[in-house]
Amino acid sequence: MTALVIAEHDNAHIKGATLNTVTAALATGADVHVLVAGFNAAAAAAAAAQIAGVAKVLHADAAALENGLAENLAAQVLAIASGYTHILFPATASGKNVAPRVAALLDVAQLSDVTKVISADTFERPIYAGNAIATVQSGDAVKILTVRTTGFDAAAATGGSAAVEVVAAAADSGKSSFAGREVTKNDRPELTAAKVIVSGGRALGSNEKFMEVLTPLADKLGAALGASRAAVDAGYAPNDWQVGQTGKIVAPQLYIACGISGAIQHLAGMKDSKVIVAINKDAEAPIFSVADYGLEADLFVAVPELVKSL
């Protein structure tokens, strides 16, 4: 058995989610190869070769692969897919975009957001916004998975010494092109990888208040900032800060929910956090049912006080 992990990278560095995916691939008991498909991505391929547990790195390099367009990346995976028993992607925006396309082209089903590998063909995944855990078995010859990164530890980024093999790049599909990117500026730890997350909801009232109240706390704790859908919809925080069923899934050591009521869809994204703190003035808010420590207080008073006492 050999598993292929599709690396997520920015052509220079391997993204953290790839490391968790390698751990999941190793858990199937297979030899693990990593595909680095990009443009001028030799540095990323070299970094992938350092990952502990990786047996081989396949490096495809072409301009058409620069931005990870689904059409081209899927064709690239397909070109080298024969012989692999498992093909794994991180369950990130990029992995979710490409994995089902590869699965359909191979005429196999795909397993989304796998949180546990039970055996080479049996896996656990959450359904209904994390309110149920399904154990599923794939009867297909090739198992195509996206891996929920918070379900697996990151493989060590160093210590490996895989060979890098250059493979032929797939041709450009010509059906799609990359037109631009607008990156949210963020000096903080990445939300999905942060040890501590400070998250705000609708109760913050405005973008100014959101930043004014929560930023000092996040600074003090070295935390990433998150938000509920209500806060994002109201424009208090950017979209990619959204934690929940349709946003990011996080599982930090400490999650501090400020002014978040705790709707099912939000809990789906954060209830695997180790310690959850809720600060809310509504004693009936559902967030208190999952919080390890609940503080019933006005967050505009409590949060600054918390910052002061840290």
Q: In the complex, what is the shortest distance from the CB of residue 59 to another protein, in angstroms, rounded to a whole number?
A: 23
CA dihedral 268, 272, 278, 283 (to 10 degrees): 60
Q: In the complex, what is the shortest distance from the CB of residue 269 to another protein, in angstroms, rounded to a whole number?
A: 12
In this structure, the strands spanning 122-127 and 116-117 are antiparallel
DSSP string, 58-114: EEEE-GGGTT--HHHHHHHHHHH-TT-SEEEEESSHHHHHHHHHHHHHTT--EEEEE
Please, which residue, 205 or 304, has the CB nearer to another protein?
Answer: 304
Q: In the complex, what is the shortest distance from the CB of residue 276 to another protein, in angstroms, rounded to a whole number?
A: 7
Q: Are 300 and 275 in contact (CB under 8 A)?
A: no
Rounded distance between C-alpha atoms, residue 30 and residue 229, angstroms: 39
Please, which residue, 22 or 191, has the CB nearer to another protein?
Answer: 191
Q: In the complex, what is the shortest distance from the CB of residue 60 to another protein, in angstroms, rounded to a whole number?
A: 19
Please, which residue, 14 or 49, has the CB nearer to another protein?
Answer: 14
Record the tokens describing residue 189, joined without a space: 């730890």
Q: Which regions of 19-121 does DSSP assign to beta strands (E)?
A: 31-38, 54-61, 86-90, 110-114, 116-117
Residue of 72, 41, 57, 70 whose CA lies nearest to 169? 72
Q: In the complex, what is the shortest distance from the CB of residue 30 to another protein, in angstroms, rounded to a whole number?
A: 19
Q: In the complex, what is the shortest distance from the CB of residue 118 to another protein, in angstroms, rounded to a whole number?
A: 9
Record the tokens describing residue 264, joined without a space: 């099912």
Please, which residue, 100 or 160, has the CB nearer to another protein?
Answer: 100
